[in-house]
Amino acid sequence: ELVHGQALSRVIRRAADHDIPFIPIPLALQITCRMCDGLNYAHTRKDERGQPLNLVHRDVSPENLLISYEGEVKVVDFGIAKSNTGGKQPETGMVKGKYPYFSPEQAQAARDLDARSDVYAVGVVLFEMLCGRRPYEGEFVAVLTQLAEGNIPKPSSLNTWMHPATTVTI
């Protein structure tokens, strides 16, 4: 499917280039809801016998989210997705995807990833949209260490609009 639009990563960069450090909260939440819709569609697919495919994208990131000029959000690039269709699966110990968006299980190269790993990555993308940076920054080993420790900065420390008392309407 041709999506006439831009990758979320480009939208984030263009906003920063125009001194907009964060995606506005209602827009970020709308994009996140549409990401979840797309991933739910993939996660609930069944084969011709009605058996769940257990599809896991494993590479949810702003580069793999397209936003059309009409406002549609599409999850793309299922190139490293994993399912139970019997195809060759990566060996345990092989890590696939963009490490800044890894779930803890993905960082540990767990073989049995499920949809929750993609949902975790959605949370990282949402954090990035709302805070202007990912929760973990640095090179591969530094990010994996931070991920293992679970030390995530409070969003309100990076974006004053994220104060708990702030209400948002979508």
The 3-state secondary structure of 80-145, one letter per residue: CCECCCCCCCCCCCCCCCCHHHCCHHHHCCCCCCCHHHHHHHHHHHHHHHHHCCCCCCCCHHHHHH
Catalytic residue among 17, 19, 59, 118: 59
∠14-40-167 over CA atoms, to 5°? 55
Active site residue 59: yes
Q: Which of 118, 6, 10 is nearest to 71 (CA)?
A: 6
- Extract the tokens encoding 101: 């968006």
Please identify every residue annotated as catalytic.
59
